[in-house]
Amino acid sequence: MNAHEDKGFYRRKFPRRALAKKVGVLFDGQYFICNSGEIGEGGMSILSEYALTEGRDLVLSFQIPDGTFVTLRGQIKSVVAKDGLVTHGIAFDQIPLAFKRQIRAFVSARMTSRFQS
């Protein structure tokens, strides 16, 4: 059995919520803009035309919904190419508690409204 067959491989520590925002990416000395896919306290996904190298570090700049504009370091944990678009799973590195709280509030707002319906 390879690592990807282990169901625990895809388990996340924190829930995520869809997020369609522009994200600035600094990778290997190059800066470009791409779209986000989803976000959680532990990381986010970004969608790009470019395939970045798994395991490498990068810097992301984006606006937390109803929160602060942040610049965070992260590591590329997964790279999946499909239909000309590449989805990168990013794990944040040492995110300040205040930013975690803002992201948690954004993610839980969806959860709360879903259960109140």
- Model pLDDT for residues 38-89, shown as the tens digit of each residue: 999 999 999 999 899 999 999 999 999 989 999 999 999 999 999 999 999 9
- Provide DSSP, 71-105: EEEEEEEEEEEETTEEEEEEEESS--HHHHHHHHH
Of 9 and 40, the structure prediction assigns the larger pLDDT to 40
CATH number for the domain that contains residue 28: 2.40.10.220
Total domains present in the chain? 1
| 6 domain residue, yes or no | no
Domain that holds residue 82: 12-116
Average pLDDT of span 88-101: 95
**Which helix H or strand E contains 116, and what residues bound it?**
helix 97-116
CA distances 111 to 5, 12, 66, 79, Å, are 29, 16, 16, 27
> Residue 12 pLDDT more than 80?
no
Query: What is the spatial distance between Cα 89 and Cα 21, in angstroms, rounded to a whole number?
Result: 15
State the pTM of this model: 0.82
